[in-house]
Amino acid sequence: MKIVLPSVAALSLLGCVAKAPESSMGVVSKSAPGNWSSTKQAKSGVDAHWVKRFGDSRLTSVVNEALGSNYDMQIAAERVKRASEAARIASALSQPQVGFTTRGEERKTRFIGFPFGGAITAESYGVDLKVDWEPDIWGRARAGKSAAIAEWQAGGQEYRAARASLAAQVCKAWFAIAEANEQVALARKALAIRKKTEEAVRDRFERDLRAEGGSASQLRLAQTDVAAAKADLSAKQGNLETARRQLELLVGKYPAGKMSGRAKLPQVPSSPPAGLPSELLLRRPDILAAERRYASTVKRIKEAKLALFPSFKITGTSGTTTDSLSNIINSNFGVWSIGANLFYPILTGGRVRSEIRVRKSNQRAALASLHKTVLNAFGEVEQSLSNERWLQRREREIREARDIARDAAKAAADDYRDGNGDVLTLFAAESRHIQLESQYASLRRLRLTNRVDLHLALGGGFHVAK
């Protein structure tokens, strides 16, 4: 015992602590342009609190609830835990392995063919502390540990990406509910106007019929409009229920279609700073995860190549051996041994070199995945910035048309009240106004949804306060 324990301490000093691989972002950094093509804005400092920028405390609360209850987030968290434990396992494999064993044996030996004949019985008992260790002379274990650390880091970045994605989905579902609330209210107004139009046409039809000049075509058209308005209201109500169920699923609740009936569309906040394309490489969690996956494959190749080198293993034991169970812990019967062996691979059937080729293939695939992730990220930012500009223009134009239609409906109402206008003209003006209000609500939601996509594309954080 006194020999083995100091040996373990001395051998452990020879091991080196593995570190995470250095950043490999240089392999893709040259692909970053100097600025975005969809904006001239180069101000840095992506918003780290974008959920709160929408100014709705209820939305913030629902996002927090989803982050704590969503099952996809729980699955993602377990992936990170598994990667962490895998890194610990890789680290443990290069450490001395210490085991404690006990043994008891009774052996009977018969003597046949000897003049004295007979047999003897012998007993043997022992307690051993055994240490096995393979020193990481060439750094193979360190390469494996470094790869495992990189994979754990990638898992952490993927968890960040999953959190951001969930927050974005919750915001979009909330905005969908808010728009659906407005659309249902507008559909009810439209139905009421269609019914009034039908009544007015019916009255005119009956008057004309009495005068023998009535026509049923206008009445049929008015009745058709009422039926279509009812169908549109049902569709809008179905959309609202669907949006509610989607939000309930995101927060881990039963999809009863009852959640967040009071959601309202907020004002679109001011545009966030886009920063520089090169900054995106150090901010987007999916890019950082892909880079860590690639860095891991580089270390895995090194690990596979070092399998061609000889391995050295040290084994030591310390314990007692005695023929009496009562002496099993008596130090006077102590024994110890220490040994070493060297293994140099010569013929492995091509297994080691095939493994190297497999890992090189994994590296090429990881590099392609990194390039693809970066390119997609640039594309998402450019598209969101472009959408921001065009949606803003469309919203401005629809708002202008809506305001004109509102004024026209007001003027038609004034004319009708003064006896200078026709009721059908009034109803037509009101219907046109409602249609434009509906389009305006849809565009506002599209702008809000695109703003969420822009924050995600830029890699912004979403720290939300409860």
* pLDDT tens for each residue of 132-166: 888 888 888 899 999 999 999 999 999 999 999 99
Band of residue 15 on the pLDDT scale cut at 50, 70, 90: very low
Question: Long-range contact list for 46-49, CB < 8 A, 24+ apart?
Answer: 46/272, 46/273, 46/275, 46/279, 46/283, 46/455, 46/458, 46/459, 46/460, 46/461, 47/272, 47/273, 47/455, 47/460, 47/461, 48/460, 48/461, 48/462, 48/463, 49/461, 49/462, 49/463, 49/464
Q: Which amino acid, one-letter code, is at 399? A: R
Structural domains in the chain (count): 1
Examine residue 319 and state whether it is found in any structural domain, yes or no.
no
Examine residue 340 and state whether it is found in any structural domain, yes or no.
no
Ranking 2-11, 94-103, 420-429 by mean pLDDT, the lowest is 2-11
Query: Is pLDDT above 50 for 14?
Result: no
Looking up tokens 């990638």 gives 154
Give the chain's count of helices (H) and strands (E): 10, 4
What distance in Å separates the CA atoms of residue 145 and residue 398, rounded to the nearest whole number? 59
The residue among 10 and 331 whose pLDDT is bigger is 331
User: Which string of b and e fits 378-412 if b means at least 16 CB within 10 Å?
Assistant: bebbbebbebbeebeeebeebeebbeebbebbeeb
Mean pLDDT of 417-441: 86
What distance in Å separates the CA atoms of residue 180 and residue 236, rounded to the nearest whole number? 7
pTM value is 0.81
Residue 389 domain boundaries: 4-94+134-310+345-458
Convert the pLDDT of each residue in 177-190 to its tens digit: 999 999 999 999 99
Neighbour tally for 265: CB within 10 Å: 19
Structure tokens at 280: 């995106």
Neighbour tally for 120: CB within 10 Å: 9
What distance in Å separates the CA atoms of residue 256 and residue 241, rounded to the nearest whole number? 9
Sign of the alpha-carbon torsion through 357, 363, 364, 365:
positive
Examine residue 112 and state whether it is found in any structural domain, yes or no.
no
Convert the pLDDT of each residue in 313-330 to its tens digit: 888 776 666 655 555 555
DSSP 109-123: EE--SSSS--EEEEE
Query: Is pLDDT above 80 for 24?
Result: yes
Examine residue 201 and state whether it is found in any structural domain, yes or no.
yes
Convert the pLDDT of each residue in 81-96 to its tens digit: 888 888 888 877 777 7
Neighbour tally for 349: CB within 10 Å: 7
The confidence score (pLDDT) of residue 332 equals 56
Query: Is pLDDT above 60 for 42?
Result: no
With a pLDDT cut of 70, the percent of the chain lying above it is 82
Q: Residue 417: which residues within 8 A CB-CB, separation 6 or more?
A: none
Structure tokens at 450: 């695109």
Query: Is pLDDT above 70 for 3?
Result: no
Examine residue 240 and state whether it is found in any structural domain, yes or no.
yes
Band of residue 126 on the pLDDT scale cut at 50, 70, 90: low
Examine residue 219 and state whether it is found in any structural domain, yes or no.
yes
Ranking 17-31, 115-129, 252-266 by mean pLDDT, the lowest is 115-129
Map residue 223 onto helix, strand or coil: helix
- Phi-psi map region of 204: left, alpha, beta (phi>0 left; psi -120 to 50 alpha): alpha
The confidence score (pLDDT) of residue 371 equals 94
Map residue 107 onto helix, strand or coil: strand
CATH of the domain at 373: 1.20.1600.10
Examine residue 117 and state whether it is found in any structural domain, yes or no.
no
Query: Is pLDDT above 60 for 380?
Result: yes
- Phi-psi map region of 18: left, alpha, beta (phi>0 left; psi -120 to 50 alpha): beta
Examine residue 188 and state whether it is found in any structural domain, yes or no.
yes
Neighbour tally for 277: CB within 10 Å: 21
Bridge-based pairing of strands 119-133 and 97-110 is: antiparallel
